[in-house]
Amino acid sequence: MKHQRRAVLHSVVAACLAAFCVSAPAEPSLLQPEEAFRVSARRVEPRVVEIDYIIASGYHLYRDRFSFKTDNPAVSVAGVELPPPLENFDKAMGQTMRYYAGRVTVRVRLAGANQTTKLVATAQGCAAVFGVCYPPMTTAFNVPAFDGRRG
């Protein structure tokens, strides 16, 4: 009888542990940079390209770590428009950091010849939930010469 109770008790404990393991939330894992920061670009005006960053929850891009350039000396970056950033004091850095979370759209104004070029965008972000920062992420976009007949 004593052995039967012990066997039943072990079965109940095993069942409870199994139920807990099934219902316990999985630990989040660190995303690859291209998953954490999805990026796309589109021309919105003859000389303006918008670069859209979709930022995964728990991640952010630093406002001061964006840079843009072209690979064509006849076409240059004339200006960059960024929306107002979020701000937070970072104890590890000892300063207030400006960043974007969720989504940010950057408008890049081009100047120079109406020629095909590559627009090279660089951004850097971190996984706040892990306290891990990624190396700068560079993405190149083909920007064809503007054809005034297209909208």
Select 33-141's CATH number: 3.40.50.300, 3.90.550.10, 3.60.15.10, 2.60.40.1250: 2.60.40.1250
Residue 16 Cα to chain centre, angstroms: 39
More confident residue, 10 or 69: 69
Q: What is the pLDDT of residues 10-38, one digit of tens each?
A: 443 344 434 444 444 566 799 999 999 99
pLDDT tens digits for 102-125? 999 999 999 999 999 999 999 999
- Write down the domain spans for the chain: 33-141
Q: For residue 24, give the 3-state DSSP assignment.
A: coil
Task: Record the pTM.
Answer: 0.77
